Amino acid sequence: MTPVTAPLAFAPEVRAALDAGKPVVALESTIITHGMPFPSNVETARRVEAEIRAHGAVPATIAVFGGQIHIGLTGEELDALARAKDVMKVSRADLAVCLAKGAWGATTVAATMICADLAGIKVFATGGIGGVHRGAETSFDISADLAELGITPVTVVAAGAKAILDLPKTLEVLETDGVPVIAYGQDEFPAFWSRSSGLKAPLRMDSAAEIARAQTMRRALGLSGGQLVANPVPVEAEIPHEVIDPVIEQALAEAAAQHIHAKEVTPFLLARIFELTEGRSLETNIALVLNNARLAAAIAAELAA
């Protein structure tokens, strides 16, 4: 028989925190399976969880297996996911199919937002969101993450969007979808590995308390959708534009030459940029995810207060 409620399996620690109204931060799993190489992926996932705990919140890494949406993973489950091959990259379109098949699925930003909302978690930390790909005017390649931000009431803390994307078009789509794009502590929209993108962010906030208030206010106003908090990478971990831009151009040219399409594009580019920067892009990625985890924990604490 078809279940009438979402098949959520909570880690006991997460369930207890939610029941007690304590701060909880959701984490995605595509970053583990498709965003970073093993074993950096599982090491980073553990460090991110520890960082959230150190800042007074409970981490809930979200993934799909055994026909259930797991809200919080054990150390063994995290390790198995990080090593697994052929894990589905699960976005809004794939979630129900992955559950129905009982397959392993790693949730993207879009799917993690859906699952976090079902679980009653309001804040989610990640590295970067998907966006409008360059050439989208002919390829139509626009990440489902953008539409999700316009529908599902979760605050997503990311380091902006990568310059592998078309950033002006990404901001345009977010505006159309009614998504507040809030740069944290600066005027400029950050570009993942770099603090600057050359684009002014539509909105700016300087404290976790303000961000939490804005989220609560959206609810009070009956506005659907979440917020995108664009938190710049720490200065000491940044890769400046002059260094990363030619690398991005090369990776994009290779993706085009090899006819890489759809869901394969982001993982391909990330892996190539990792190789071309001899691992420096990964170090930056780790630093910015930890930074986002700290801010998300602070926002979750404000929402719980």
Nearest approach, Cβ of residue 12 and ligand PSU (Å): 26
* 86 annotated to bind ligand: no
* 25 annotated to bind ligand: no
The torsion of the CA quartet 179, 128, 159, 201, rounded to 10 degrees, works out to -30
| Residue 240 tokens, joined | 């400046």
Active site residue 162: yes
Nearest approach, Cβ of residue 112 and ligand PSU (Å): 7
Q: Choose which of 31, 60, 116, 179 interacts with ligand PSU (CB under 6 A).
A: 31
DSSP 94: T
- Asked if 148 touches ligand PSU (CB under 6 A), the answer is no
Question: For ligand PSU, which is the closer residue by CB, 21 or 39?
Answer: 39
Q: Compute the residue count for the chain.
A: 305
* 91 annotated to bind ligand: no
Question: For ligand PSU, which is the closer residue by CB, 113 or 211?
Answer: 113
Q: Which residues contact 129 (CB under 8 A, 6 or more apart)?
A: 109, 143, 145, 146, 149, 156, 158, 161, 228
- Asked if 160 touches ligand PSU (CB under 6 A), the answer is no
- Asked if 40 touches ligand PSU (CB under 6 A), the answer is no
- Asked if 266 touches ligand PSU (CB under 6 A), the answer is yes
Beta pairing partners, 182: 203, 229
Site for ligand PSU in 42-101 (CB under 6 A): 91
Give the whole-angstrom CA distance, residue 73 versus residue 57: 15
Q: Which of 28, 49, 51, 238 is catalytic?
A: 28
- Asked if 263 touches ligand PSU (CB under 6 A), the answer is yes
| Residue 51 tokens, joined | 């960082």
* 145 annotated to bind ligand: yes
Q: Which of 51, 122, 162, 238 is catalytic?
A: 162
User: How big is the CA angle at 125 (ends 285 and 90), to the nearest 5 degrees?
Assistant: 90
- Asked if 130 touches ligand PSU (CB under 6 A), the answer is yes
Nearest approach, Cβ of residue 182 and ligand PSU (Å): 18
Q: Which residues contact 87 (CB under 8 A, 6 or more apart)?
A: 33, 34, 81, 104, 105, 106
Residue 242 CB-density burial (10 A; 0-12 exposed, 13-18 middle, 19+ buried): exposed
Nearest approach, Cβ of residue 137 and ligand PSU (Å): 16
Q: Which residues would be at the binding site for ligand PSU (CB under 6 A)?
A: 28, 30-31, 34-35, 91, 108-109, 127-130, 143-145, 162, 263, 266
